[in-house]
Amino acid sequence: MANHAENNPSESPEYIPAVEDDRLAERLASITEEEAEARAAALRAGLSDYELAEEDAALLDYDEDDEDYEPYVAAPPALAVIGRPNVGKSTLVNRITRSKEAVVEDVPGVTRDRVSYDAEWNGKDFTLVDTGGWEQDARGMHKRVAEQAEMAVDEADAVIFVVDGLVGATAVDEAVVRMLRRKKKPVLLVANKVDAPSHMSEVYALWNLGLGEPYPVSALHGTGTGDLLDAAVKALPEFAEHGGMIPTGGPRRVALVGRPNVGKSSLLNKLAGSERVVVDSVAGTTMDPVDEFIELGGETWRFVDTAGIRRRQHMASGSEYYAMLRTQRALDKAEVAVVLLSVEEPVSEQDVRIIQMAVDSGRALVVAYNKWDLMDEERRYYLEREVTRDLAHIAWAPRVNVSALTGWHKDKLAPALDTALTSWGRRISTGRLNAFLGELVAAHPHPVRGGKQPRILFATQPSTKPPRFVLFTTGFLDPGYRRYITRRLRETFDFTGSPIEVSMRVREKRKRK
């Protein structure tokens, strides 16, 4: 059986003797870079005998660019949007950012954390911070929401205070004014939902709040927002008072994803060293993706806490549905995903689906097992069996065992992220790649099918992040053989933490005229 598997790697793609690993590594090490490039050039020239499509030229003529390190610059100023619940803060945020990133629903309390968005007006970049509704005598989760809003004011360089222009100033609005006066920040008073001249009577009364001229706007329709932003830009300083320095290209973006209540927000708070995100035992507390700059491992990272994914997208509704869309968008914008699993519960179908979502999005991947400090030996035994059975397809992802509650092993997260991102951006030279495939095929050729044996003519890596390899072949390679090549690529060149894609382009030989 062993001989059969060795001669047919496509039927047993996991089989490779350890001694063969060593021999392949030795043979590759003995080939100089000049020899590898000469071999690749000869193979590339041989492609002229085959029918090539127009799009092949872009792949074959790709020239690798050197990456430059970017200098650090001061962070842009921060503009916080605050007000009591359901006055239209998130709608105004979406209007200013020209997007639908903030979750909006016609019920109070959808926004709970302070959520940052990049914004720009007339050439001025700034950070717009959406907040949950501020209430003076709030209790429970609502109290923590109000505390987050107040912290946003503390860290902001200017504040937009939103009131309902149809209702006028309420007792809660007056309490917000007292809080803002204590903070001594520039404040722009906004009367929202003013859609017609007949609504202006309530707007004039807002002068009594003592915050200066109120700006009547309709966040829903966009009227009045230009004048508001003109004034806001004038009130903002050139750089953020509390923002520090960030790379011009931005810190590496990390998306925290997972099921509800696995500890994503608790982990973000522990990494930030403050109560950055509202944490509650109620599942689904986080609705909007929450960005935070985290100092970890000697560098700055941009972590994004996302809403917990509890079901398939087509089964969700209302704010939960839109929160899921924003989680997917946050994942698409990230460079690396940290999938958080709880060791207290068995690996579920939903966990596997979330992991697959991260892999399908092409992000680098780190798997973090939370609540490790609560696990006993019996649960450890069953967890290892679950990981082997259910997560074997991502055995290449770094694994970190942490405790979001105590911060145990949080320092191990940065090395895992660095490893995954290094692999995600790794490029193999064309010469070295073709030398590798030449040695691999010589040791384990593709099996003969129907009297024919497809050959690999040439290989190239047209892109990174994630690494993508294209093989020009004379016929289709068996799925098992492609998996075999993928696994050996991963092992030989160390793509720990990164998905890799291997695709084929079958090309026929030119007919002689």
Binding residues for GTP: 83-90, 130-134, 192-195, 258-265, 305-309, 370-373
Contact 389, 357 (CB under 8 A): no
The DSSP code sequence of 177-238 is HHHHHHHT--EEEEEE---SGGGHHHHHHGGGGSSS--EE--TTT-TTHHHHHHHHHHHS-S
Closest to 86 (Cα-Cα) out of 150, 172, 211: 172
Burial class of 311 by CB neighbour count within 10 A (0 to 12, 13 to 18, 19+): middle
The rounded radius of gyration (Å) of the Cα atoms in the chain is: 28
The C-alpha atoms of residue 327 and residue 309 are separated, in whole angstroms, by 8
Residue 403 half-sphere exposure toward CB, CA atoms < 13 A: 9
234 in Cβ contact with 323 (< 8 Å): no
Question: What φ, ψ does residue 278 adopt, rounded to 5°?
Answer: -65, 125
All residues at 6 or more sequence positions from 443 whose CB lies less than 8 Å from its CB, including other chains? 20, 23, 24
Across 243-335, the runs of DSSP E, i.e. the strands, are 245-247, 252-257, 290-296, 299-305
Q: In angstroms, rounded to a whole number, what is the distance separating the alpha carbons of residues 191 and 33? A: 68
Query: Would you say 341 and 370 are in contact if contact means Cβ atoms under 8 Å apart?
Result: yes
CA distance 133 to 116: 16
Q: What's the chain's length in residues? A: 513
What is the torsion angle, in degrees rounded to the nearest 10, for the CA atoms of residue 247, residue 250, residue 252 and residue 254? Answer: 140
Annotated binding site: 83-90, 130-134, 192-195, 258-265, 305-309, 370-373
Report yes or no: 232 and 188 within 8 Å, Cβ to Cβ. yes
Query: Collapsing DSSP states into helix, strand and coil, what is residue 115?
Result: strand
Pairing state between β 245-247 and 72-74: antiparallel
- What is d(CA 163, CA 160) in angstroms, rounded to the nearest whole number? 10
Q: How many CB atoms lie within 10 A of CB 135?
A: 19
Residue of 178, 7, 40 whose CA lies nearest to 460: 40
Of 398, 391, 427, 402, nearest to 415 (Cα)? Answer: 398
Distances (CA, A) of 57 to 44, 46, 60, 62: 11, 14, 5, 8
Phi first, then psi: give them for residue 353, nearest 5 degrees: -65, -40
